[in-house]
Amino acid sequence: MSYSQILRRINRLLQATITDAIDNLSIGDKQDLDDFDRELRQEKERTQYAKRETSDKKRPGAGGSGTGGPGSGTRKEGRRKPGEKDDAHYYAILGLTPSASQAEIKKAYRTLMSLYHPDRVATLGEDLRHAATEKAKLVNEAYHIIERRRGFK
């Protein structure tokens, strides 16, 4: 039996289970489920509308601040991805303030990575090595997020 056949069977089983569960719901529960579906659809429409509005503002000639140059409106600098914290958190990891210059950011990153890099602490005990590796991951993440948001390399 191939993987696709197995996946199709699992899909059918899940659909049947979900259908049975929905059929066994009371009228009030079905109404709650319909309300939840409606809210999800409305949220999706709002999100799509907001994305459209944002992309229209970035497009040259659409009333936005696009420069009209190559690749304008497609850069992702300054954008915040889901799950990311605010700028102050990442600057604090590097020991800086949000007003730090690009050179200060790079210097702080290099200094911290020279202290906590896994190759640098390879000869230390297990606990210290683990702590340093975790700190290096945080420093690396903070630097790359600040780098992306500020748009420098």
Q: Which CATH number goes with the domain that contains 131?
A: 1.10.287.110
Measured between alpha carbons, how far is 104 from 91 in angstroms, rounded to an integer? Answer: 11
Q: Give me the mean pLDDT over the 80-86 stretch.
A: 65
Q: What is the mean pLDDT of residues 14-32?
A: 75
What one-character DSSP code corresponds to residue 69?
A: S
Q: What integer is the mean pLDDT of 12-23?
A: 80
pLDDT band at 79 (very low <50, low <70, confident <90, very high): low
pLDDT value of residue 122: 84
- pLDDT above 90: percentage of residues in the chain: 13
Give the residue numbers spanning the domain of 44: 3-58
What would the mean pLDDT of 2-23 be, rounded to a whole number? 84
- When divided into structural domains, the chain yields a total of 2
State the residue for tokens 């992306």. Answer: 148
Instruction: Give the other-Cβ count within 10 Å of 52's Cβ.
Output: 10
Higher pLDDT, 101 or 18: 101
Identify whether 66 is part of a domain.
no
Whether pLDDT at 110 is above 90: yes
- Report which of residues 71 and 19 the model is more confident about: 19
Q: Please indicate, yes or no, if residue 73 is contained in any of the structural domains.
A: no
Question: What average pLDDT does range 101-119 have in this prediction?
Answer: 91
How high is the pLDDT of residue 58? 59
Are 91 and 140 members of one domain? yes
CA distance 114 to 143: 14
Confidence class of residue 76 from pLDDT cuts 50, 70 and 90?
very low
The DSSP output letter for 25 is S
Give the C-alpha separation, 119 to 125, whole Å: 13
Nearest to 104 by CA among 76, 133, 149, 143: 143
70 belongs to a structural domain: no
The HSE-up count of residue 60 (CA atoms within 13 Å, CB side) is: 7
Integer Cα distance of 48 and 44 in angstroms: 6
Query: Is residue 47 in a domain?
Result: yes
**Amino acid occupying residue 66:** G
| Structure-token pair, residue 117 | 């890099």
**Model confidence at 75: pLDDT above 50:** no
pLDDT of 4: 85
What pLDDT does 54 receive? Answer: 67
pTM of the model: 0.47
